[in-house]
Amino acid sequence: MSSTAGKLVTWKSELDLDHHNLEDYLPSGSSINEPRGKLRLRDLLDISPTLTEAGGAIVDDSFTRCFKSNPPEPWNWNIYLFPLWCLGVVIRYCILFPLRCITLAIGWIIFLSLFIPINWVLKGHDRLRKKIERVLVEMICSFFVASWTGVVRYHGPRPSIRPKQVYVANHTSMIDFIVLEQMTAFAVIMQKHPGWVGLLQSTILESVGCIWFNRSEAKDREIVAKKLRDHVQGVDKYPLLIFPEGTCVNNNYTVMFKKGAFELDCTVCPIAIKYNKIFVDAFWNSRKQSFTMHLLQLMTSWAVVCEVWYLEPQTLRPGETGIEFAERVRDMISLRAGLKKVPWDGYLKYSRPSSKHSERKQQSFAESILARLEEK
Amino acid sequence: MGNTSSMLTQYDIEEVQSNCHDLFEQQEILSLYQRFCQLDRNAKGFISADEFLSVPEFAMNPLSQRLLKMVDGLNFKDFVAFLSAFSAKASLRQKVELIFKVYDSDCNGKVSSKDIMEVLRDLSGSFMSDEQREEVLSQVLKEAGYTSDSFLTLEDFIKVFGSSGPEMNVEIPVD
């Protein structure tokens, strides 16, 4: 970060409500904000505050930090531990990994051999079919968790099936979903994935009531918003799970929560998930590896250690906007899971920031110049 | 095992250091190298304009387009040399030189009032009219003893900044 004593300026959120808190965190324009007597050529030529900001951003920035994989600390650093580490590699790759593959295969065999007939036989009996399907989905997720020796500790009361409530959680990897799903079958809102994950999404998870969207398609947003409202109002639906960050973050930070989940006029139940990086980094860096590679990485590590907290349900307070509500819930989750908050929209991974942000800087610059010009 | 920073030998580091007038410590060079590799996503050996713009804090900067012309496609050595002006150890002259280069977009060694106008336009956008900008510029130029037709050299810049150089220090995060 730049070392200039940047004065933090809180802007009235008149321009873009979605990013109302951004300027609270970033060093604003510069020290030229306060008029300091008459304007001279030196003051006009001195673009150092803006340059310092740019230099600081090139050297380090909080956005990139959110999506940086942090490999576990190597411990094979000395000659005595090294053979032990090698032994560990042999055990992990030659014994644990095949065993885990078998476990997963058995899981799939049981699952498919029950799921397909039931889907067929119980066509008329929707309630019973849904009940069994739900148990089966929970079961296959347990097999997945077992396949990477997931040591998951759940704190707090287990989610219940009630209408008018949504669960929101911080997002690190697609395995978040599996970890939560093995306890309770949630209906989840997810980005549509290619490959075998996409196939699973459109066949099995569809029956749990999951909702898919394509991040890049604008019209999908409206469809999803409508589906969301319908789902929440439905009585006999699975509890809805939303990852409001909209993208995987490395479990050290939280990025901005999308307000959609908080404007449904229903109870929001926060879930905080914290992974322990002792054996493996559970962050799925989707730019660097496919989900299959990510799973293989988890399956060849000793264990995935993680904690899940079901936090107290929250409702919109009188006079609170959706964004403030989202921020309040983000505070709770960040505090519980020990994550740092950054003001960025996670979608900036896929797009450029809007020109509004630089316009704001231009505005403050122009205002200070004009103010100083009038001072004689 | 190992990480990217270990790919730099002592010799490499010293070469980079001498290229930036020894303004960075060895540790700082190593952490800049990590950052360089992080930004250079597919290990081409340089950072493209698009990769610079993937840093939102940089993309939001009013001068980002202008700076891109200076940093686009730099290899690690030149990348460090560019950043050296932001070192706390850099001299006033080095800092002013960077500012001068930002103004001197055609690299002819002199800055005309038109060049200054362009930077001013980047910085103030639609929040100042062209007339206002011209008024501001002609007024401060006149006061400093120049006219709208005069060209400013690097020496003029150094004189204008005087002994109180620009505050332009960026700390390199060393972990």
pLDDT tens digits for B105-160? Answer: 888 888 999 999 999 999 998 899 999 999 889 988 988 888 888 899 999 999 88
Q: Residue A341 and residue A337: Cα distance in Å, rounded?
A: 11
Neighbours of A113 (CB within 10 A): 10
Taking CB atoms and an 8 Å limit, are B125 and A60 in contact across chains? no
pLDDT in tens, A42-80: 888 889 999 999 999 999 988 988 998 887 777 767 788
**Cβ contacts of A146 within 8 Å, gap of 6 or more:** A100, A103, A107
Q: Please tell me whether residues A244 and A359 are part of one structural domain.
A: no
pLDDT in tens, A326-361: 999 999 999 999 999 998 888 888 888 888 888 888
Give this prediction's pTM: 0.81
* CA-based nearest residue in chain B for residue A40: B140
Stretch among A16-25, A141-150, A155-164 having the lowest mean pLDDT: A16-25
The number of folded domains in chain A is 2
Residue type, A209: G
Please compute the mean of the pLDDT values over residues B57-75 and round it to a whole number.
92
* CA-based nearest residue in chain A for residue B136: A373
Structural domain includes residue A100: no
Structural domain includes residue A283: yes
Query: Cα distance from A353 to chain B (closest Cα, Å)?
Result: 6
Please compute the mean of the pLDDT values over residues A164-190 and round it to a whole number.
91
- Please check the confidence at residue A13 and state whether its pLDDT lies above 60: no
Q: Please tell me whether residues A177 and A307 are part of one structural domain.
A: yes
- Please check the confidence at residue B69 and state whether its pLDDT lies above 80: yes
Structural domain includes residue A350: no
Taking CB atoms and an 8 Å limit, are B59 and A353 in contact across chains? yes
Q: Please tell me whether residues A55 and A163 are part of one structural domain.
A: no
Distances (CA, A) of A234 to A39, B58, B150: 64, 45, 74
- Please check the confidence at residue A32 and state whether its pLDDT lies above 60: no
- Best of B47, B61, B89 to disrupt the A interface by mutation (most A CBs within 10 Å)? B61
Q: Does A366 touch chain B (CB under 8 A)?
A: yes
Measure the CA dihedral A11/A15/A21/A22, to 10°: -90
Query: Cα distance from A90 to chain B (closest Cα, Å)?
Result: 16
Higher pLDDT: A272 or A369? It is: A272
The per-residue pLDDT for A113 is 94
Please compute the mean of the pLDDT values over residues A256-272 and round it to a whole number.
91
- Please check the confidence at residue A271 and state whether its pLDDT lies above 90: yes
Please compute the mean of the pLDDT values over residues A107-124 and round it to a whole number.
89
Among A50, A74, A366, whose Cβ lies nearest the Cβ of B128? Answer: A366
List the one residue out of A172, A256, A195, A189 whose CA is nearest residue A229: A189
ipTM: 0.91
Q: For chain A, what is the mean pLDDT?
A: 84
The per-residue pLDDT for A96 is 93
Structural domain includes residue A158: yes
The per-residue pLDDT for A40 is 83
The per-residue pLDDT for A102 is 95
Instruction: Give the confidence band of A19 by pLDDT, cuts at 50, 70, 90.
Output: very low
Q: Please tell me whether residues A283 and A365 are part of one structural domain.
A: no
Instruction: Give the confidence band of B173 by pLDDT, cuts at 50, 70, 90.
Output: confident
Q: Does A55 touch chain B (CB under 8 A)?
A: yes
- Please check the confidence at residue A5 and state whether its pLDDT lies above 90: no
The per-residue pLDDT for A2 is 38
The per-residue pLDDT for A16 is 36
The per-residue pLDDT for B6 is 52
pLDDT in tens, A296-333: 999 999 999 999 999 999 999 999 999 999 999 999 99
Q: Does A371 touch chain B (CB under 8 A)?
A: no
Please compute the mean of the pLDDT values over residues A242-267 and round it to a whole number.
91
Please compute the mean of the pLDDT values over residues A109-138 and round it to a whole number.
88
The per-residue pLDDT for A4 is 35
Please state the separation of Cα A118 from the chain's center in Å: 34
Structural domain includes residue A128: no
Please compute the mean of the pLDDT values over residues B18-37 and round it to a whole number.
91
Q: Please tell me whether residues A309 and A369 are part of one structural domain.
A: no
The whole domain housing A221 covers 145-344
Question: Over the Cα atoms of chain A, what is R_g?
Answer: 25
Q: Please tell me whether residues A319 and A258 are part of one structural domain.
A: yes
List the one residue out of A324, A197, A194, A188 whose CA is nearest residue A246: A188
The per-residue pLDDT for A256 is 94
Q: Please tell me whether residues A168 and A258 are part of one structural domain.
A: yes
The per-residue pLDDT for A28 is 46
Q: Please tell me whether residues A293 and A369 are part of one structural domain.
A: no
Q: Please tell me whether residues A177 and A305 are part of one structural domain.
A: yes
Inter-chain Cβ pairs, chain A and chain B, closer than 8 A: 165
Structural domain includes residue A130: no
Q: Please tell me whether residues A208 and A270 are part of one structural domain.
A: yes
- Please check the confidence at residue A372 and state whether its pLDDT lies above 70: yes
Structural domain includes residue A211: yes
Q: Please tell me whether residues A310 and A368 are part of one structural domain.
A: no
Structural domain includes residue A70: no
- Please check the confidence at residue A22 and state whether its pLDDT lies above 80: no
Among B124, B162, B169, whose Cβ lies nearest the Cβ of A365? Answer: B124
Show which of residues 247-306 on chain A sit within 8 Å of chain B, judged by CB atoms: 287
Pairing between β-strand A253-254 and β-strand A340-341 as defined by DSSP bridges: parallel
SS3 B129: coil
Q: Please tell me whether residues A338 and A360 are part of one structural domain.
A: no
Pairing between β-strand A165-169 and β-strand A240-242 as defined by DSSP bridges: parallel
The per-residue pLDDT for A77 is 73
Instruction: Give the confidence band of A223 by pLDDT, cuts at 50, 70, 90.
Output: confident
- Please check the confidence at residue A23 and state whether its pLDDT lies above 70: no
Collect all residues of chain A within an 8 Å Cβ-Cβ radius of residue B143.
Answer: 40-41
